[in-house]
Amino acid sequence: MTTASRRLLLVNGPNLNLLGTREPGIYGHVTLADVERIATEAAAERGFEIRAVQSNHEGVLLDAIHDARTDCAGIVINPGGLTHTSVVLRDALSGVALPVAEVHISNVYEREEFRHHSYVHDVALVHVIGEGAPGYSRAVSLLIDAITGAAEG
């Protein structure tokens, strides 16, 4: 595999820069740096690398997703609140035609009703919801399984 085919883009959306201090009863005390480390370690165990981006600005995330089509094999994304509001984020993920893993730290289906809908859900191949920060490791592993053909079924 080429270097590009051994790289994943890790996208963390708005407010995830506040991990560690934001609503610890929901998100715990893990930081964004912890999440990026967890994903990077999981990828490295499989011979992949991670390029991470976090932004509170939707356009920055869209640009990163568009750029990934030329040098990444897949995308792991926690869109944050954009999960429930952003058709353009969904369209960007669909448009780059890369396999996608959607991950959420909290179980969005056990929270407010408006969080129950995900615009990303139908374009994501992998869904890891409510497993806390370790869910990033599982999302990376499952996505790599799909990319390499190691997935069951």
Task: Check whether 65 is labelled as a binding-site residue.
Answer: no
Question: Is 119 part of the annotated catalytic residue set?
Answer: no
Task: Check whether 115 is labelled as a binding-site residue.
Answer: yes
Q: Which amino acid, 43?
A: A
CB 4, CB 73: distance < 8 Å: yes
List 66, 104, 121, 136, catalytic entry = 104
Q: How far, in Å, are 11, 33, 59 from residue 52 at the CA level? A: 6, 10, 16
Task: Check whether 84 is labelled as a binding-site residue.
Answer: yes
Question: What residues have CB less than 8 Å from 149, skipping those under 6 apart?
Answer: none
**Count of beta carbons in the 10 Å neighbourhood of residue 150:** 11
CB 13, CB 82: distance < 8 Å: yes
Task: Check whether 105 is labelled as a binding-site residue.
Answer: yes
Question: Is 104 part of the annotated catalytic residue set?
Answer: yes
Annotated binding site for substrate: 78, 84, 91, 105-106, 115
Annotated binding site: 78, 84, 91, 105-106, 115
The residues annotated with a catalytic role in the active site are: 27, 104
